[in-house]
Structure 1
Amino acid sequence: MPASQLKRLKASLRDQGVTGPQKSKKQKKQQSAGKTATDRVQRNAALQQIRDSFNPFELRATNARPEKFNSASAKDAAVNGKGRYKDVLHRPGVSKSAGEEMRRATLLPEMHRRNKVGGLLDRRIGEGDVDMTPEEKAVQRFAKEKERKAKGRSLFDLEGSDDEAGNGFGAALTHGGRRIDDLAADDFGEEVSGESEDDEDDGELLRRKRRRSDEDEEEEGEGPVDAEEQQPERKKTKKEVMEEVIAKSKMHKYERQKAKEDDDDLRMELDQGIGELMGLLQGVKKPTPKQSEEAPAHDSNGPVVNSDRQRLLDGMDRDKADKEYDVRLKELARDTRAKPSERSKTAEEKAQEEAERLKVLEEKRLKRMRGEEVEDDVARDDVGDDHDLEGDEDIPDEAAEFGFTASVSQPQEQSQQDVQPDEDEFDLDEDLVASDEDVELSGDESDNSSDDEAEIDAPEDEEDEFVKDILGPQTTSGSNDVKLGEKGATSTGSGLAFTYNCPRSHPELLELVQDLPPDQLITVIQRIRALYHPSLSAANKEAMAGFSCSLVDHLAYMGRNKQPMAVVEQIIRHLHSLSRTYPTQIADQFRQNLASFRERGQPDAGDLVILTAIGSIYPTSDHWHQVVTPAVTLMARWLGLNAPSTAKHAPTSTLMTGAFFVALCLKYQGLSKRYVPEALRFTLQVLSTSTVDNTGLAPHIANLMGMADLWQDKSAFIEIFTPALAVLKKRHAKKQHQTLTIMLQQSRLRRRPLELHHHRKLPIRTSVPKFEENFNPDKHYDPDKERSDAKKLEKEYKRERKGALRELRKDANFIAREQLKEKRTRDEEYEKKYRRLVASVQAEEGAESNAYAREKAKRTGKR
């Protein structure tokens, strides 16, 4: 069993030499005389060590250093004469108690004030300082009060002593630029009234009295006193300044009102004379005024009264007056109202609008190319006049079914914007049809204006582009003035009539133009469109729809009869314009021609013209189109079935037709860039099996390179066009072979898989080791100053962060302990109160019970 604390204490004191055997008085006296200050310090240190040893939890030493650093520490101690690292003893109990007291003094009051509304906060001097005595608080408060009074004294304080007044501000008080002591005694008291001191009437009276006194003194010969001249000009009061401002404002307002009245009078005078001025401008003589013996309609002061109203007032018939009133009202209703003019736009604004419009069109085209739905929100700039005349506003737009916008153009006075070309606009390649320069049209003045000028300069819709010279700038609805059907009633010098019947089928059109030369057909079409324009009659809409379908059939007829391609191009342009107004009928007619081509199996020249017109009229980049998609399908089907396998099965007509179909496929896919395998297969088969020389196969070689340019961005470009190298080498097309080889190499580079960069291997850096004589493992020997400082700052930040988190945890624990203590206190108080109440109730019940028992016993005893 270990020794007791008393025995351990005695043993420790004896070991440290603090206590020992009993000594005599003489020995104690000698020992106390020989003690020095060092001995007393050693004795106190020994006693403190003994105290600490009896409470091992009060001290905590630092963590022991690693064994490998002990030698370094010993070496450092031997060199410097003292230990580099000291064992520091911490007193966690003392630190904890100090922290507890600090939190109790700071955090606990804040916790008690939490969630408290209102209350008084004593901010008096020394009230929150526990170190100040009440006498010190009273002295500081008194000094602060004296200082506040000294600072707050008014400049016009008259209650001070005479010394203060003489030395301070009292002696400097003035009145009207003079000292108060120098004023006459009668300046005060005579004009005293019951009003306030700030009343300006009293000030005015005082100034008048002062002026009178100065005049009296001057008359008496005492000499004038120019006090006002000697003193600076008096500063105006706020009231005087505001009165002056108000007066000036009223004056300016009156002047503006007067100028406005003068302008109104002049305007009224000009309005009265505007009738005479307009009559002079229009060349109308002024009517002579009728001499009337009636009373004047106005006097010199009153306004002028209308003569008609004056007659009504003088007794005009009521029915006649009402009729005249209705006529005047209808005339006013028919008067054209002024319309606000639009601001002319700058070149930058026009360019920006055009860029935005093209951007919207491109987005819609890409959506159609991907097969997405496109909302038909295109502006109704191309809406036909027939819709406005017939009131067919509720007719649904059927153009969306065919991949392009159905057009119904607005009235002519509203369509002032140019028809800008978009992806749907008419476009023909130079190698397919002839240009406009080859067209030579004869006839009257309507034939002289070329279509190119109409595209550039015409400010009207495309619907009116071909008929504007014949129909005229202004078109009125109604029946035709010329009797239709009278062919040759009035003819031109070339033998063309001005009026024709509107053919509704191809036989009727052939009957109409069979005797005419092909170059006069365009003039006939223009005149028919002008005569049967939808704006002239509601019935013309159906007639023009049939005429449009007959033009489609006539395209095929012209191709089969080898008529000039320049005329064919002009008819395609007319169909392009009409397709905006009659999309359904023209599309159905194109599909019928495609169906006949499918039934025959082999195309003729008319079918080639029809396919060319389809590519020029309709958008070929759409994902699906009711006219373009069947056309592409038929061409691909024919190319797939007629690809020559040997030289014997390759007639020249088939080769030329196939070259044309491949060129059309490339034109169709110019924007969408969709892959047509039949076209490439047919071209490769022709180039590899045909015995024709390179001159006859030039179109096929050109088609092959066109397909390579069109599809060079495809991921399968290498597999598709690698066989073409051998074909081009066989045909000795060196230039095309080199170009295709470069394209394939570029495609292989784009397809190359991802890989790391090939860097030169870097050797491991070798350096001569650096030795530190007095190496300290806790010291950083980083040569980079910024990095070393950054590490130190980071380390300090981590240490401070840990300390802050530790303090926050201690604060939370302290708050939790205090809350728990308060809860226990409240519970104890509640328990005491509860027990006290129960005890009082039980005492009352016991007393009542005893009283009842006594009363009962008393009554029983009486019995």
Structure 2
Amino acid sequence: FAMRSSKLKFDILGRKVKGDKGNVLKAREAGYIKRKDTLLKEHQASGKSNAFVDRRFGEDDASMTPEERAIGRLARTRLRQIKRGSGFNLNDDDDDGQGYDDEEPITLTHGGKPIDEREEERRSAHAIARGRRGMRDDDSDDDMAMDAATTGALHFGGGEDDDGFEPTLKRGDHDTPEENGDPNRRKTKKEVMDELIDKSKYHKAERARQRERDEDLLDKLDDEFKEISGAGLFRAALSKGVGHLKPDGWERDDYDKLARELALESRGQATDRIRTQEEVDAAEAATLETAERARLKRMNASDEDDDDDEEDEDEEEDADDDEEDNDDEEAKEAEEAGEEKEELDFSGDKSDSDLWSDSEEQYEEGEPKPAKAKDPKAKAPVPELPFTFPMPETPHDLEKIVGHLSVEDTTVALERIRKCHAPTLKEDNRKKMQSFLGLLLQRFEMLSGQSPLPVDYLDVLAVNIAAVANIVPFFAVTSARARLEKMAARLRQRLRDGETGWPPARTILLISLFADIFPTTDKQHPVSTPAALYLGNVLAHCAVRSTREAVTAVVVAGLAARYSAPAGRIFPEAITLL
């Protein structure tokens, strides 16, 4: 139970964690010893100003009596004196036979006086001291030792023993200079610290009193200011424009205008995050599918829907009977009543899906309406354009989808095909888009050979070809290079056969399409570079033999300028030909 361990979350081989195991009893014992050595000694020494260690002989031994301490101290003193003076005792008998008995003895001096005389003076001083203390001559040598007062007077006082001599006063731990009668006495550390603490407390209290006085003065000033402002004295000064209180109209107007703008400024509203391309394509495809299902439902209505439509038709017939003479008033009344229904447009100007409604289908299948005046030039409505299309796999499939459509409908149909079959929706849609790009290029070449040129349809195809090329760029480059290689092969073959070799209209339009799709400013491009080389060969090797060929040469030279001008290049062949 004395051992304590901490469980680790992970065990790692070879790792030593400090403190994972410990002995409670040993830790408690170590803490007790540490507090005893530190806190206990600090507690014992608290409140004391100074301390000294008494190293005198016998003071640390409580078993010795005062007489034994005195005898031991005397013996140690004599021994110390013998050790110190033996090295300078020159008058002792020599055992080694080096003494000089015939000569006068050598006398040691100090300060011009023999050592013996100084010894006599010392003894006389001891006698004086004994006389003052009332000691007898037969006292022991230990009693001949000078006390602290005599030692201070003779040794440190210059050796003079005046009658006016006053020894240094002894003071206790808590004595003050006034109590000891000496105001010039050096203060102890405790006294200095006590005085410093008292001064600090005094200054702190003085600052607190000053702060209270300042607060009282501020409160008084606030009360007086309230009285003055309540009387309206400042308002009168501002209205008269006295001194620096004169208002600045321009600054006030600017500030008011800015404050009003900040107050009335509309706050920004949080918006949804920007959707990725995959999410955008999925949302567009879902929208088109939903619209297509709704269109098919309106076109192929069930019997239940027909019953509901018959009820709506009866209501419509009643309204027509009431307003039979004026169709415009009928439309106005229907709008005011909030009826949501649509009428068939016989003019044929609109072909949108909104022209087809359930009531019109019921009119074709159910009972006829009352006879009305009809436009003799009315024609059958144009079929509604589907919202979703299958991906065409052959040129015939593409012809079935867009062959009978107008330019606007062709644009919408091709755009819906791209959205319904975006590569981000399914993995195999990328291959379908590659096949779709090939079909668009074939249709572009086919329409380019017609006369007159369907320029509007070619523009629609060019826009969609560029959009699909951005989706499948690698396949677009491959298809363009294959067509350029065929063009170069046909040019070489015609030149061998002795023909002029000028390209037909479809070739020129296709190269112009490549200039719109691919960059022409690159130093080297897999499509733009072969196309520029083909144009240079045409301008350099094809001969002009007729007016038509001259016009073709000018057109090709202009096409060469489209490839060279953006990059800052020139065609020497075009300059030579022109």
Instruction: Bin the TM-score by the shorter chain.
Output: 0.3 to 0.5
Which structure: larger Rg? 2
TM-score, structure 1 as length reference: 0.25
TM-score, structure 2 as length reference: 0.36
Q: Which has the higher contact order (CA 8 A, sep 6+)?
A: 1
